[in-house]
Amino acid sequence: MFSPVVQTKGASREAYDKAVDLLQKKYANNGRKLELLKSAYGIEDVLETVTEAQLKYAQRTEGSKVRKWLGGLSTRITYYGQIIDVLSQHHPEYVSLAWGTMKFLFVLVLNHEEMISELAKAVSRIADVLPRAKLQLLAFGTDWMKDATQCLYAEVINLLMRCLEWYEANPWKHAWKAFKDPYKLRFQDLRDKVDEKARRMDEMANTLSQMKINDMHQALVRMENTMSAHHLVLVARISGLEQISQQVQVTQILNGTEHSQFPSPVESLRFCQAVRRKRIGQFELNRTALLPRLQAWSAAESSSLIAIAGAAPTRFQTKDLATELVDLISAANKPVIWALNGRQPPSINKELTHINLLRQLTNQLVKLNNERMIAHVSANFNAPRVASARCEADWLGILKECLTGLPEVYLVVDMEILGKPSDENADSWLEFFRLLETLVSSVQGVALKVAVLSFRQNFIRSVSMGSSPASIVSLRGANARGGGPGVKRSQPWGERKNKKMRFV
């Protein structure tokens, strides 16, 4: 990992001070240069001093017409120098000495012009290198980069000191330096070192950038892994909250459908079971036609509706048969719901009888299919939808939703739960029977097996006269009070030993 990034001015000042320390030995005998270096705050101040000297020199020589003329003339004469050298070979005694002297002077002028031009380029180059070096030091404040910056500053200071020395020299020294130390001999090596140190810093910055990119990649991978872990935790929490919300919705559905004008299904079943136990051995049914029809109804793989038709003499057998159906189906561990005629409440709202009964069947189904109902809570099935149900069609739709996930469901209905038929509600029983027909024909993905039992002949005739898909089974029996053999609980329709109804 990288060391902490330091402040730009502090790092630059530190590198400058160390670069000055490196040059103290070299300028130990030059107090003026040491004083200049120590008085400057940073390397930018040294560069500014050299730039000012450069401007002063340019202003001093700007109006020199002789310098401009000599520069242009020396350039042209040197261009044609090879031709003149050929002429001097034919007349050496006249032109060699004069031409050699002139050529020497012109070379000095060209060297001087080259010195001015290249020094200006060098100072401009340093002005470009220093900001980049400062940014690199700011971005990568490592020991490696600090050492590289110190070395660069040392070479830059060395070059700037020579430039300053040249700019402050008098014209005669310029002429002598142009002959003795042209640019390539006096400054080229220092400029090459500056370029080398700057290139080294660029390469080091590139390497450190790749290392930082790799660190960033690793950090992103860790961040992605952390985010994935947090996402899993968040999904788990959201899933838990969603499940809790679904459980609350199902609880609200149960609470909203629990209260009805009818007694609870469990109480009605217990009441009917108690009454049946008292009547055991008092009545006998003709099982010959009943047993095969019930077996076929139970074994069917699709939804079906069977109407078990009794008569006034068999009204007790009809009621006991409904109770026995519920007991046998429950004993076979088959899902079953029921609507049995238990203790009737003091008054029943005839207009809401169907809806109240459908609400009670919904409550039983939700309890029976509780786990699947929790998972099934959605925009189509939720507590607000159940609470807003107003008509019979709404409750039929809710009943179909409650059947989701069940392979088969049995429904046993004793039509007496709707109350004794009268002129006012003569069609009420038939309307509810049609609702059950609609439910059986429209449900999908589940085998809904409905058994409707009644001893009311008017109702049975109404069902048989219509185009009902229901299968009608007639009960024919005799009152055998006190004499005939009893019917055991596990054998309600068959002979006690060899005929037995099974729900498997």
- Predicted confidence (pLDDT) per residue in 319-357, tens digit: 999 999 999 999 999 999 999 998 765 455 565 689 999
Question: Is residue 325 situated within a structural domain?
Answer: yes
Question: Is residue 490 situated within a structural domain?
Answer: no
* pLDDT value for 8: 45
**Shared domain check, 199 and 315:** no
> Pick from 169, 201, 222: which residue ends a domain?
222
What is this structure's pTM? Answer: 0.58
d(CA 424, CA 56): 123
Question: Is residue 53 situated within a structural domain?
Answer: yes
17-26, 136-145, 188-197, 368-377: least confidently modelled range: 17-26
Helices (H) and strands (E) in the chain, counts: 19, 7
Opening angle at CA 15, ends 9 and 16, nearest 5 = 85
* pLDDT value for 121: 85
* pLDDT value for 173: 74
3-state DSSP: the chain helix, strand, coil percent, rounded to 5?
70, 5, 25
- Contact of 342 with 272, CB cutoff 8 Å: yes
* pLDDT beyond 60 at 503: no
* pLDDT beyond 50 at 275: yes
**Shared domain check, 182 and 70:** yes
Task: Please state the rounded mean pLDDT for residues 171-196.
Answer: 79
Q: How confident is the model at residue 30 (pLDDT cuts 50, 70, 90)?
A: low
Query: Mapping DSSP to helix (H, G, I), strand (E, B) and coil, where does residue 293 land?
Result: helix
Average pLDDT, the chain: 78
**Shared domain check, 268 and 191:** no
**Shared domain check, 139 and 82:** yes
User: Of 73 and 446, which is predicted with more confidence?
Assistant: 446
Of the candidates 261, 265, 399, which has an alpha carbon nearest to the alpha carbon of residue 338? 265
Which range has the top average pLDDT, 33-37, 140-144, 154-158, 194-198? 194-198
146-155, 174-183, 267-276: least confidently modelled range: 174-183
**Shared domain check, 336 and 472:** yes
* Amino acid code (one letter) for 114: E
Of the candidates 262, 271, 428, which has an alpha carbon nearest to the alpha carbon of residue 345? 262
Phi-psi region of 409 (alpha: psi -120 to 50; beta: other; left: phi over 0): beta
d(CA 205, CA 199): 10
Of the candidates 74, 82, 134, 137, which has an alpha carbon nearest to the alpha carbon of residue 108? 74
* pLDDT beyond 60 at 56: yes
- Contact of 123 with 47, CB cutoff 8 Å: yes
**Structural element, H or E, at residue 137:** helix 92-139
d(CA 192, CA 189): 5
User: Of 284 and 379, which is predicted with more confidence?
Assistant: 379
φ/ψ of 263, rounded to 5, equals: -65, 160
CA 379 to chain centre: 23
Q: How many residues does the chain have?
A: 504
Question: Is residue 212 situated within a structural domain?
Answer: yes
**Shared domain check, 208 and 296:** no
* pLDDT value for 158: 82
pLDDT in tens, 116-136: 788 888 888 888 888 888 888
pLDDT in tens, 62-118: 555 545 554 555 555 555 556 556 555 655 654 565 556 656 655 666 677 777 788
**Shared domain check, 266 and 217:** no
Q: How confident is the model at residue 180 (pLDDT cuts 50, 70, 90)?
A: confident
Distances (CA, A) of 410 to 431, 439, 453, 460: 20, 13, 14, 21
**Shared domain check, 445 and 337:** yes
* pLDDT value for 398: 94
d(CA 247, CA 376): 10
Q: Where are the beta strands (DSSP E) in 341-476?
A: 408-414, 447-454, 471-474
Q: How many independent structural domains does the chain possess? A: 2
* pLDDT value for 480: 34
* pLDDT beyond 60 at 432: yes
Of the candidates 418, 496, 405, 499, which has an alpha carbon nearest to the alpha carbon of residue 452? 418
Contacts of 416 (CB under 8 A, 6+ apart): 319, 341, 454
Contacts of 300 (CB under 8 A, 6+ apart): 447, 449
* pLDDT value for 83: 54
CA 39, 43, 45, 48 torsion: positive or negative? positive
* pLDDT value for 305: 94
Q: How confident is the model at residue 3 (pLDDT cuts 50, 70, 90)?
A: very low
Opening angle at CA 91, ends 86 and 95, nearest 5 = 85
**Shared domain check, 36 and 118:** yes
**Shared domain check, 59 and 161:** yes
* pLDDT beyond 50 at 213: yes
Question: Is residue 164 situated within a structural domain?
Answer: yes
Q: How confident is the model at residue 37 (pLDDT cuts 50, 70, 90)?
A: low
Which tokens hold the place of 348? 């029943």
- Contact of 269 with 414, CB cutoff 8 Å: no
Question: Is residue 381 situated within a structural domain?
Answer: no
- Domain range enclosing 121: 8-222
We report the CATH number of the domain holding residue 408 as 3.40.50
Question: Is residue 281 situated within a structural domain?
Answer: yes
Q: Which long-range contacts (CB under 8 A, 24 or more apart) does 172-175 make?
A: 174/112, 174/115, 175/108, 175/112
> Pick from 167, 200, 222: which residue ends a domain?
222
- Contact of 108 with 176, CB cutoff 8 Å: no
Question: Is residue 248 situated within a structural domain?
Answer: no
* Amino acid code (one letter) for 121: K
**Shared domain check, 282 and 156:** no
**Shared domain check, 205 and 308:** no
